[in-house]
A = this chain, B = another copy of it.
Amino acid sequence: MTITITAFERSPDGGMGLARDTRVRWALEEAGLAYEVRPVSFAAMKEPAHLALHPFGQIPTFEEGDLALFESGSIILHIASRHPGLLPEDENARARAITWMFAALNTVEPPILEIVIAKFIEGDKPWSQERMPLIKGRIRTRLNQLSARLGDAEWLDRNFSAGDLLMVSVLLRARPSGILDEFPSLAAYVARGEARPAYKRAFADQLAFNTARH
């Protein structure tokens, strides 16, 4: 059965790899699965056909035969649960790896996304600049805790897992602001993620996809 995901017709980042389809592409590459990508315009994202796939009008979505999913975390967990390479065999280790998936999405990413809100959604407001140090402070709190836990380990819980895949993807969004590089051990952790052949293929493919449309 063919796997089809959706991506921005024109990614707001122009192919920097920060849109959420990159995470899903990376997981598919780690699992060695072929897939097709259907571009969706911002207008089409809010139309009934896409809302039937994704009730919140976003990308990515995942379709395979009868199954349609949304939410990159859920899509990656689905791929990781059915194919080797992204979750450990041992039951307890698997539960811990899934914990890191949730931690990346629910604890580490929200403060990082606040920068996007302050800069782009509330960028014209008088408080936008003044809020930035508070937002950055909240990100630093999380990255401090994360780097304390990572220590000098290669990955968050022994071997690379979908938890690392999501944590690296989330941390990449803290790089443009310069905050990631304030934490050398986390910057090195992200670099280890980026060095994986599967990440490189995913990044190159989303870049080619976006470049073809710009």
Contacts and interface: CB of A to CB of B under 8 A. Distances in A.
Contacts of A75: 99
Interface in A131-179: 131, 134, 142, 145-146, 148-149
A71 B92 contact: no
B110 A71 contact: no
A33 interface: no
A73 B106 contact: yes
A195 interface: no
Interface stretch (A5-13, A24-32, A49-57, A198-206): A49-57
Interface of A: 51, 55-58, 66-67, 69-71, 73-75, 77-78, 92, 95-96, 98-99, 101-103, 105-107, 109-110, 113, 121-122, 125-127, 130-131, 134, 142, 145-146, 148-149
20 contacts: A51-B148, A55-B146, A55-B148, A55-B149, A56-B107, A56-B142, A56-B146, A58-B107, A66-B92, A67-B96, A69-B99, A71-B103, A73-B106, A74-B98, A74-B99, A78-B98, A122-B134, A125-B127, A127-B127, A127-B131
